[in-house]
């Protein structure tokens, strides 16, 4: 693995003040092999190595980490940076319907994604409409209808046998239909071919012009490997896209395509599709993808990093704050900070689960729902500082504003505030009893 190989490279490095040029060159060779094994496109590997070399050359040898760990840390940070840092959220139109258009090669997972988005949006209180603008293959409309039914959402499709054929018109009409029937999000499924094809690219561009999407999502199979660069460039130039969805991440692809696409297009990867079932779908996590690209061997260094992030001090601080205030000044900001900590443990739990003997700890913390944390964070971030400090002031009109700002419905805001009050009550009780906040403990 990369970490083993780097450790071997740096056997004799302890005590030097700075990574030497020879050390950095040796390191670069190892990283290059790891990236190529992960199927990152060659030009992207070259550019990436250059970037890492420059950073490594300037870095002091750290006291806390050995050189191999230090290089892995740099590589990991650069990877996460290119893969998008924080994940971007979907942009919703100020004036509904929000239009999301899906583009990509045939078989990349667009129609499946339409169903996944439908289910997910419905879960967030939206009323999505899936639009069959793929009239290329005879059964494409049927496939979308089946997916929509499974997701329990509406579908807009041309009547069968009714002189079908103009996907641009179908797409255009669907927007009117959505407006009339009050669907607030329209997901337009489009056709693709196995290879890049001018005619179909033009059709996608025409659909785009007809529906003026708020988001064009480029759907790409994670197994695409070295072709990722050409395909992404063709869709960028032919249709243009705002975000990327990586599909089939449940397969054994190491995910090099993610790095290639992000590097070449500068667009964020927004979602990850992890299976054929409609709920096998999640926000894209750059940090997880970085560790996947680097290979399993880097698990330990990532765990170390995660352990540092989850500092024992933070927990202790929270406890003493609560003890001194009897829980009274526990605010929504604290609530959010606590959820984020639990979330960090959530990603640690995935890593732990892959190590022998760690199953038990994993079980303790693996029922954290990532999407719930994201949604909670979005809601709290849409509040004013005053509201976070003292949520009792959140009345109906404030609730409506917060809901709008965070793209959820009012009931979700209400539910969150209620949960917060519950938590505060619990905090206060625990503070009086001198106990620690109710977070599952990590081994020391
Ligand atoms: P489209 O041609 O772009 O619309 O692609 P489809 O949505 O029809 O998907 C093509 C095939 O890939 C279907 O058999 C899907 O079930 C499958 N598929 C789609 N997304 C995923 C995924 O995330 N994981 C796996 N394993 N299969 C997927
Ligand atoms: Mg399709």
| Structure confidence by residue, pLDDT tens digits, 390-435 | 889 999 999 999 999 999 999 999 999 998 888 777 766 665 654 4
How far is Cα 402 from Cα 152, in angstroms, rounded to an integer?
A: 27
Q: Do 349 and 278 share a domain, yes or no? A: no
Among 112, 151, 239, say which to mutate for ligand 1: greatest number of ligand atoms within 8 Å of CB. Answer: 112
> Is 174 within the bounds of a domain?
yes
Q: Are residue 54 and residue 112 in the same domain, yes or no?
A: no
In whole angstroms, give the CA distance from residue 259 to residue 337. Answer: 30
Domain that holds residue 18: 2-82
| Span from the CA of 190 to the centroid of ligand 2 (angstroms) | 7
Shared domain check, 76 and 103 = no
Distances (CA, A) of 197 to 133, 207, 261, 327: 17, 15, 19, 62
What's the pLDDT score for residue 337? 78
User: E strands within 134-254?
Assistant: 154-156, 185-190, 215-221, 243-247
First to last CA, the chain: 27
Tell me the DSSP string of 47-111.
HHHHHHHHHHHHPBPPSSS-HHHHHHHHHHHHHHHHTTSSPPPPPPPSSSPEEEEEE--TTSSHH
Does residue 442 lie in a domain region?
no
Ligand 1 centroid from CA 221, angstroms: 9
Which ligand has its closest atom nearest to the C-alpha of 112? Answer: 1
Q: Is the CB of 248 under 6 A from ligand 1?
A: yes
Helix/strand/coil percentages in the chain, nearest 5: 60, 10, 30
Residues of the chain predicted below pLDDT 70: 1-19, 60-69, 160-164, 295-329, 341-370, 427-444
**Secondary structure class of 129 (helix, strand, coil):** strand
Does ligand 1 have an atom closer than 6 angstroms to the CB of 136?
Answer: no
What's 63's domain CATH number? 1.20.120.140
Rounded to the nearest angstrom, the gap between the alpha carbon of residue 260 and the centroid of all alpha carbons in its chain is 17
CA of 134 to the centre of ligand 2 (A): 7
Q: Is residue 293 part of a domain?
A: no
Ligand 2 centroid from CA 106, angstroms: 7
Residue located nearest, by CA, to atom 25 of ligand 1: 275
Residue 72: per-residue pLDDT:
74
In a domain, 291, yes or no: no
Q: What is the pLDDT of residue 440?
A: 38
Ligand nearest to the CA of 141: 2
Task: Report the pLDDT value the prediction gives residue 22, as an integer from 0 to 100.
Answer: 78
Do 116 and 235 have their domain in common?
A: yes
Query: Which of 82, 112, 131 is the endpoint of a domain?
Result: 82
Report the candidate in 40, 21, 22, 19 with the shortest Cα–Cα distance to residue 31: 40
Judged by DSSP in three states, 332 sits in helix
Distance 225 CA to ligand 1 centre (A): 17
* Residue closest to 375 by CA, chosen among 402, 330, 407: 407
Ligand 1 atom index nearest CA of 189: 4
Q: Is the CB of 106 under 6 A from ligand 1?
A: yes
Contact between 95 and 173 (Cβ < 8 Å): no
Nearest CA to ligand 1 atom 16: 276
Q: Looking at the structure, tell me whether residues 327 and 374 fall in a common domain.
A: yes
Evaluate whether residue 113 is within a structural domain.
yes
Q: How far is CA 383 from CA 84, 223, 375, 405, 433, in A?
A: 25, 41, 13, 9, 31
Looking at the fold, whether 41 and 153 belong to one and the same domain comes out as: no
Res 192: pLDDT = 86
Give the orientation angle of helix 140-151 with respect to helix 110-123, to 10 degrees: 20
pLDDT digits (tens, 9 = 90+) for 45-85: 999 999 988 888 777 665 556 666 677 778 888 888 899 87
Find out whether the beta carbon of 275 lies less than 6 Å from any atom of ligand 1. Answer: yes
Residue 264 placed within a domain: yes
245 and 169 within one domain: yes
Ligand 1 atom closest to 147 (CA): 7
Sheet holding 215-221, edge to edge: 154-156, 128-133, 185-190, 98-103, 215-221, 243-247, 268-273, 281-283
d(CA 214, CA 317): 43
Domain holding 141: CATH number? 3.40.50.300
Q: What is the pLDDT of residue 358?
A: 43
Identify the CATH number of the domain in which residue 369 sits. 1.10.260.30
Do 267 and 236 belong together in one domain? yes
Residue at 35 is within a domain = yes
Do residues 78 and 103 share a domain? no
Angle CA 281–274–47, to nearest 5: 105
Respond yes or no on whether the N-terminal peptide bond of residue 97 is cis (omega within 30° of 0). Answer: yes
Ligand 1 contact, 137 CB (< 6 A): no
* Rounded Cα distance, 318 and 341, in Å: 12
> What DSSP designation does 302 have?
H
Q: What is the residue with the minimal CA distance to atom 11 of ligand 1?
A: 107
Same domain, 117 and 169: yes
Domain identity same for 105 and 224: yes
Asked if the structure places residue 326 within a domain, the reply is: yes
- The CA 102 to ligand 2 mean position distance, Å, reads 10
- Output the pLDDT for position 109: 96
If one counts the domains in the chain, the total is 3
Among 57, 82, 107, identify where a domain stops: 82
**Does residue 77 share a domain with residue 52?**
yes
């Amino acid at each position: 693995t990369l970490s083993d190989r780097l450790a071997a490279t740096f056997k004799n490095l302890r005590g030097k003040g700075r990574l030497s040029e020879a050390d950095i060159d040796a390191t670069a060779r190892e990283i290059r092999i790891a990236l190529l094994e992960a199927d990152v496109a060659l030009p992207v590997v070259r550019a990436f190595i250059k970037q890492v070399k420059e950073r490594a050359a300037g870095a002091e040898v750290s006291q806390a980490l050995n050189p191999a760990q230090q290089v892995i840390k740099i590589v990991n940070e650069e990877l996460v940076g290119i893969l998008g840092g924080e994940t971007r959220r979907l942009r919703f139109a100020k004036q509904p319907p929000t239009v999301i258009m899906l583009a990509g090669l045939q078989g990349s997972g667009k129609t499946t994604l339409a169903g996944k988005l439908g289910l997910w949006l419905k879960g967030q209180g939206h009323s999505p409409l899936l639009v069959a603008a793929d009239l290329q293959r005879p059964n494409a409309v049927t496939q979308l209808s089946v997916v929509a039914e499974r997701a329990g959402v509406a579908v807009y499709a041309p009547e069968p046998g009714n002189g079908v054929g103009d996907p641009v018109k179908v797409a255009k009409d669907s927007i009117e239909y959505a407006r009339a029937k009050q669907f607030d999000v329209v997901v337009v499924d489009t056709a693709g071919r196995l290879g890049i094809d001018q005619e179909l690219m033009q059709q996608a561009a025409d659909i785009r012009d007809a529906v003026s999407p708020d988001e064009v999502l480029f759907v790409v199979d994670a197994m695409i490997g070295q072709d990722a660069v050409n395909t992404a460039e063709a869709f960028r130039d032919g249709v243009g896209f705002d975000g990327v969805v990586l599909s089939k991440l449940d397969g054994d692809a190491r995910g090099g395509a993610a790095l290639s696409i992000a590097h070449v297009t500068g667009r964020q990867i927004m979602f990850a599709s992890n299976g054929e079932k409609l709920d096998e779908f999640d926000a894209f996590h750059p940090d997880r993808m970085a560790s996947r690209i680097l290979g399993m061997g880097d698990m330990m260094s990532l765990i170390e990093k995660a352990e540092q992030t989850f500092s024992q001090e933070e927990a202790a601080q929270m406890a003493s704050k609560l003890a001194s205030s009897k829980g009274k000044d526990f605010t929504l900001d604290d609530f959010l900070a606590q959820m984020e900590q639990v979330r960090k443990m959530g990603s640690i739990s995935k890593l732990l689960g892959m190590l022998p003997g760690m199953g038990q700890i994993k079980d303790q913390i693996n029922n954290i729902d990532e999407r719930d944390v994201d949604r909670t964070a979005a809601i709290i971030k849409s509040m004013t500082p005053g509201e976070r400090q003292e949520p009792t002031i959140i009345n109906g009109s404030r609730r409506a504003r917060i809901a709008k700002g965070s793209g959820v419905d009012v009931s979700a805001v209400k539910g969150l505030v209620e949960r917060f009050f519950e938590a505060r009550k619990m905090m206060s009780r625990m503070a009086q009893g001198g106990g620690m906040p109710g977070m599952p403990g990590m081994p020391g």
